[in-house]
Chains A and B, each alone.
Chain A
Amino acid sequence: MNWATLNLMPALPELFLLSAVLVLLVIDMLLDDERRGVLYGLSLATLAGCAAMQYLAWTPVPVETFQKMFVADPLSGVIKFFLYGVTAAVLIYTRQYVADRQMFKGEYFTLTLFALLGMNVMVSASHFMTLYIGLELLSLALYALIALRRDSVPATEAAMKYFVLGALASGLLLYGMSMVYGATGSLDIATIARVIASGNGNTVLLVFGLVFLVAGLCFKLGAVPFHMWVPDVYQGAPTAITLMIGSAPKLAAFVFLTRILGQGMEALLSQWQGMLMIVAVLSMALGNLTAIVQTNIKRMLAYSTISHMGFLLVGFLTGNAEGMSSAMYYAIIYVLMSLAAFGVLLALSRAGFECEKVADLKGLNQRNSWYAFLMLLAMFSMAGIPPLAGFYAKFAVIRAAANAGMVPLAVFAVLMSLIGAFYYLRVVKAMYFDDAEEDAAIEVRADMRLVLSLNGLALLALGVLPQQLVALCMTAVKQSLTSL
């Protein structure tokens, strides 16, 4: 290996992040409990630094390094910017919540940053091996984060469930990858795509492996019929961690999907399109219908996540640039929406009280009309009501499906989004038309108030003016997936 030929520039953000995590680990050791707040500041500074490095390392065309195991392209660049922003928002939103629940330890920050590193690795992987290691890095950090509150039985149970099913999903993925390796003789995504396109791969083995890959991916996305872990984990984990699981990792999972199916198995589109279609239909149906009967808002949002993943897949499975970019847009908007929704829940929780029932939101408008309005924005956006961002996102994926000739699927998606609107509106009704059952003051740190407000308003702004972000997604997908 020749060091001179090793181009570290594309991996600059990852290198910075890893070094920062190591430094944080050491600093954490030297701090006493009263001064843990320093780590909070340093973590946010790290994220800002990562964003700056990402700006420096920006590349309009794909650049590979580390012997073609790492790729920096516009797709990964855009997603990584959002990852940093979302992680920063997560840290800001959860600051008070974790402090109230004895979770405000150095490990909370290092584990979060490790999870971010894992996502970065996944997003920038151009090799099955790095994809898998990135995924494990992310999952392992999340398992630990869920269980961080050791004395909470639901959290421990949720961590256990997530761990066991996550291991199963990893096993499926690895089995699928090994089949693909057997059929194509390579783990490198570009090589796999080339071998499949040239027709030299053994189709039976490839499709056999593809089934396991799709199953593993759906597990990670939380799409039906591999969704059983989602509601339990969302409900059992402390709300702060639920926010973390429900936000940034979905972006990474989208890229994961894109790298494996969109880039590596592009030539097998006809095969995985059908599988994903079944998954998407089931996810939208089961997610929306089951969410209606939930009284726990975290569980309801979990089922709503399942249905959102179904919508995302509707865009993705078209396999063309329009569909992929609409799915990417959907993923970004979904993350912003769940950030806002869980952010309000976190704002309403306080020491000794968890805001997790729909009933806990009753009369929120009387108590604090601004948070009620932010929640309203999030709920309307998730329901897909214009002019919010969620509407445009749903519109984009459904239009992509219709344009690709899948009109029945598009019609089904529209129907499902109508059904889904019901339970989101139920939350709105509780906030605006029911009387408050308690009148505890809502105390929120200033930084969280600011970011949460911006978050909610972004949903509105991106709904009114979606063009910029849509165009960005389109360029990113087109530049990165050169075969499209």
Chain B
Amino acid sequence: MSFTTVVFYILSAILLLAAFRVITAKNPVHAALFLVLSFFTASGLWMLLESEFLAISLVLVYVGAVMVLFLFVVMMLDIDIEKLREGFWKNFPLAGTIAIIMAGEMALILGSPEAGLHTYPARAPLSADFSNVRELGVLMYTRYMYATELASVVLLLAIVAAIALTQRQRKDSKAMNVSEQVAVRAVDRVRIVKMAAAPVDTAATDEDQPQA
């Protein structure tokens, strides 16, 4: 077994373990951190395939930005994980059986000699001056230009959707707008009503007054 094979199995083992812990961890913050770990090991696997650009992008985008925001939110939430799990054990036997059967079938099919996975040749190592970044860039902006542009449209849509969903006046917000308060004028708050002076019925008032 060569060195890279050993590294591959170690990374894969950590990846699977971390992914498993993501769904089993009791504490959502721990789960999120295990997800970070699984991203990190996945990027290590990519590194083994000599696609360092993808590996680094994965760390940069997912670990460095997405998961930070994720943690940010998860830490703020007060989730009662036990309450979420209430129906878990009720459905577990059926779901577990199906999952095991599925996984078993997949393993049998992909592991069988007919699947022919062993016939795929090992990838030739890349030359030292091969630049992933350049190759990817050239492909993205020529051969896959249409897909790249569409992906940017998806991102634009995501921005529009996120803003549409979040930018609204919350009904329960008690925030005050200071500049509006400062700019308020007397006429906005006080209405002076002119009323015709009515003659005061002195007799009636006198009667109400207790005699001193």
Task: Show the binding face of A for B, using Cβ within 8 Å.
Answer: 1, 18, 25, 66-67, 69-70, 105, 107, 110-111, 114, 117, 121, 127, 129-130, 133-134, 136-137, 140-141, 143-144, 147-148, 150-151, 182, 202, 204-205, 208
Contact of A208 with B145 at beta-carbon distance under 8 Å, contacts A114-B157, A140-B154 already known: no
What residues of B have a CB within 8 angstroms of the CB of A130 in the complex?
Answer: 146-147, 150
B109 contact from A127, A143, A208, Cβ within 8 A: A208
B154 contact from A66, A105, A133, Cβ within 8 A: A133
Q: Are B161 and A66 in contact (CB under 8 A)?
A: no
Question: Is chain B's interface secondary structure helix, strand, loop, or mixed overall?
Answer: helix
A67 contact from B120, B144, B151, B171, Cβ within 8 A: B144
What residues of A have a CB within 8 angstroms of the CB of B109 in the complex?
Answer: 204, 208
Task: Show the binding face of B for A, using Cβ within 8 Å.
Answer: 106, 109-110, 112, 114-116, 120, 141-147, 150-151, 153-154, 157-158, 160-161, 163-165, 168, 171
What residues of B have a CB within 8 angstroms of the CB of A70 in the complex?
Answer: 146
Question: Nearest CB to that of B164 among chain A residues?
Answer: A107
What residues of B have a CB within 8 angstroms of the CB of A66 in the complex?
Answer: 145-146
B160 contact from A114, A147, A205, Cβ within 8 A: A114
Q: Are A205 and B157 in contact (CB under 8 A)?
A: no
Question: Nearest CB to that of A70 among chain B residues?
Answer: B146
Contact of A204 with B144 at beta-carbon distance under 8 Å, contacts A137-B150, A147-B165, A148-B165 already known: no
Q: Are A137 and B146 in contact (CB under 8 A)?
A: no
A204 contact from B115, B120, B163, Cβ within 8 A: B115
B171 contact from A25, A141, A151, A205, Cβ within 8 A: A151
Q: Are A144 and B165 in contact (CB under 8 A)?
A: yes
What residues of B have a CB within 8 angstroms of the CB of A136 in the complex?
Answer: 154
What residues of B have a CB within 8 angstroms of the CB of A147 in the complex?
Answer: 165
Q: Are B161 and A144 in contact (CB under 8 A)?
A: yes
Contact of A129 with B161 at beta-carbon distance under 8 Å, contacts A117-B153, A134-B150, A204-B114 already known: no
Q: Are B147 and A205 in contact (CB under 8 A)?
A: no
What residues of A have a CB within 8 angstroms of the CB of B160 in the complex?
Answer: 25, 107, 110-111, 114, 144
Q: Are A18 and B153 in contact (CB under 8 A)?
A: yes
Q: Are A67 and B165 in contact (CB under 8 A)?
A: no
